[in-house]
Amino acid sequence: MKYLLFTIAFVLILGCRAETETRIVKELAPPLPPVFPAPLTEINLPSEREKLALINKKITVFGIKVFALEGVSDRDLKLVANVLTQWIDNDENGTPDNPEVLAEIVRQKSRMILGVTFDQIGPWHEKSQKILKDAHAPTYGLDVTTINHNWYGLPLSEYSQSHYHTEGLLPPDAATEETFHLITDIGYANVYPSAFWHGDLGDNPSHALRSYIQKRGKVQKGASLLTVAMDKARGGYFKLMPKEYPDDAWYTRSDDCGYKCFVGEYIHWGIITLVGCNENREKGIYNQWQITNARSLRNRDTELYELLTNTKYNFPKIAPDGSYGPLSQ
């Protein structure tokens, strides 16, 4: 009897100890990353409300809706969805490379709208976007006339702009650009504001960004490591576009689109240079950007190179080719 009581007591002690250790481990362990829906494999029809907003079809990738207006081909909708997904899941293992960044993009209900031309997208933003649920959610527009199908080894569309027919790979590609802007403007700027904030608060800033601004203020100059690097690349801090850039500047965009826009364009130039999209494109980009390969980026724009290659942020390492997993089928 004594032996039985001793055994029961011993088992109870072990059980309590195991439960305590399990609780401690759970408290010390980092939270599990959010679970994201896998990219859909087919084009979907819009909801009734989306139809009222003139949405013709859509694809959802990792919780981000990519809408298309009338006239956009299935091929181009799939292409843009593929490129967006490849930026998010660059190693194509089915999960986002930076779950925190994607979680912020999804939290803000960010999305994309594709139209055939800018003249179609502009009025849509002004009139039809307000019909959608979450009307003020970040909505990035892309007119598919500015997709450079040459980059993806695809035949040009009937609505491709003329210079894509004559200049091949030299002109830029809006599919890689606008999808990446969404990721950096909304995701990286809100998750890592000290590194990537662009100087604009936005409609729904993250707690991290709010806290950061409370500490340092809303001043654009020196807003983040990214803006400091950009100001160096432009030859100084310019709230407005200068009439002329200093001779030692290598980022010399000549059409004024506002400071936040300049920051977004700058990091986009950096990433497409890093992943090899600017090789042999000197003629096509020299009036805006004077670095064409990763080695030159590392040597000439050290600050930007270090941001883009820092494993903490896990930026893409491979250029999207428009053929992510099942979406390319």
DSSP E strand boundaries for the chain: 57-61, 64-68, 111-115, 139-143
Q: Can you read off the two tokens belonging to residue 204?
A: 């729904």
Q: Looking only at Cα atoms, what is the longest distance across the chain?
A: 96
The residue extents of the domains of the chain are 48-323
pLDDT score, position 5: 43
Q: Please list the residues that pair with 289 across neighbouring strands.
A: 251
Q: Which pLDDT score is estimated for 41?
A: 60
Contact 156, 149 (CB under 8 A): yes
The H or E element containing residue 241 is none
* DSSP character at residue 142: E
47 Rama sector, left if φ>0, alpha if ψ -120 to 50, beta otherwise: beta
Q: What's the pLDDT score for residue 241?
A: 85
- For residue 163, what pLDDT is reported? 86
Q: Which of 245, 237, 241 is nearest to 219 (CA)?
A: 237
Tell me the CB-side half-sphere exposure of residue 286, using CA atoms within 13 A.
4
- 112 near 67, Cβ under 8 Å? yes
Residue 53 backbone phi and psi in degrees, to 5: -90, 15
| Residues in Cβ contact with 231 at an 8 Å cutoff, skipping those fewer than 6 apart | 221, 237, 238
Task: Please list the residues that pair with 59 across neighbouring strands.
Answer: 66
Low-confidence ranges of the chain (pLDDT < 50): 2-33
Q: How many other β-carbons are positioned within 10 Å of the β-carbon of residue 312? A: 9
* First-last CA distance in the chain: 71
For residue 139, report the phi and psi dihedrals to the nearest 5 degrees: -130, 110
| Nearest-angstrom CA–CA distance, 143 and 137 | 19
Which residue shows structure tokens 């032996």? Answer: 3
Query: With 0-12 CB in 10 A as exposed, 13-18 as middle and 19+ as buried, what is 88?
Result: buried
For 16-68, the pLDDT digits (tens) are 444 443 343 333 334 444 666 666 668 999 999 999 999 999 999 999 999 99
Q: How remote is the C-alpha of 82 from its chain's centroid?
A: 13
Q: What is the pLDDT of residue 34?
A: 61
- Using alpha carbons, select from 189, 107, 181 the residue that is nearest to residue 141: 181
pLDDT reported for residue 107: 97
| pLDDT reported for residue 21 | 37
Cα dist from 16 to 23, 27, 85, 155, whole Å:
11, 16, 46, 67
Q: What is the pLDDT of residue 327?
A: 56
Query: What is the distance between the alpha carbons of residues 207 and 188, in angstroms, rounded to a whole number?
Result: 13
